[in-house]
Every structure is written in C-alpha cells, then in structure tokens.
Amino acid sequence: MTLRKYLILMSLVSLVCWAGFVSVVNFINPLDAGLFGFVMFYGILFFATVATLSVFGFMLRARILRGELVFRQVAITFRQAFWFGVLVTIALWMQGRSLLTWWNLLLLILALSILEFFFLSLKRTRRI
C-alpha cells in the first residue's frame, strides 16, 4: 500500500468513525442500551481517536522531518496514536465509573509510556 492510499484510507476511516460516534451519542440511550451501547460508545471512540491521531501525527512528523524518509514514521505514528486512544478510552471509562483521579491517570500515563519506550528500545536493538 502506498503512503497516499494509507492516508486516504485512514482519513476515510476517521470520518466514518466520527460519524458513527456522533450517531451513537445521539441515538443510543445509555439507560436502555446496556452493555452493547457502552461497547459501541467506547469502541467507536477508540477507533476514531486512533485513526484521527494517526493521520494528524503523520502529517506533523512529515512536516518536521522533511528531508528524511517519512514513510518509515507511519508505524511509529500509528503505535503512538494507539496508545493515546487507549489512554483516552480508559480515562473516559474510569471517569464514567467515578474512578478517575489524578494519580490513577498518572499511573496510566506512566504505564503507557513504559510500553512505548519498550517498543522504541526493541526497534533500536534490532538495528544493531
């Protein structure tokens, strides 16, 4: 898949997911929906966040790294968008359960940062 096709596909996925998220928010009553409604809410929010941040993150990296091969940044950008999507989704779920405190959020950010550093160091050891 070319870089252009990837960006177009991710942009379309992002638009579809945000339209689905707006539909879930507007048309599903959380009191009547049960587990299905909550899974739809958090699932679509996660995918919309990941797709949107993948596109914007890649555009930002391409802007900053003009002279380098930017297509290699796609995997890193997608992985970081995935971690941020996990962060947003878990934080909103915890807020919905009245479990979100500043130290819980700090622990979640720390755990996801450690995972990201692990993946970054794993890639560096493969190059050697």
| H or E segment and range at residue 22 | helix 3-27
State CA 31 to chain mean position distance: 27
Tokens for 37?
């409604």
Domain positions in the chain? 3-127
Q: Give me the pLDDT at residue 70, please.
A: 73
pLDDT in tens, 78-110: 999 999 999 999 999 999 999 999 999 999 999
Tokens for 103?
């130290």
Contacts of 21 (CB under 8 A, 6+ apart): 41, 44, 45, 48
Distance in angstroms (rounded) separating the CA atoms of residues 61 and 53: 12
What single-letter amino acid sits at 122? L
Question: Per-residue pLDDT for 127 more than 60?
Answer: no
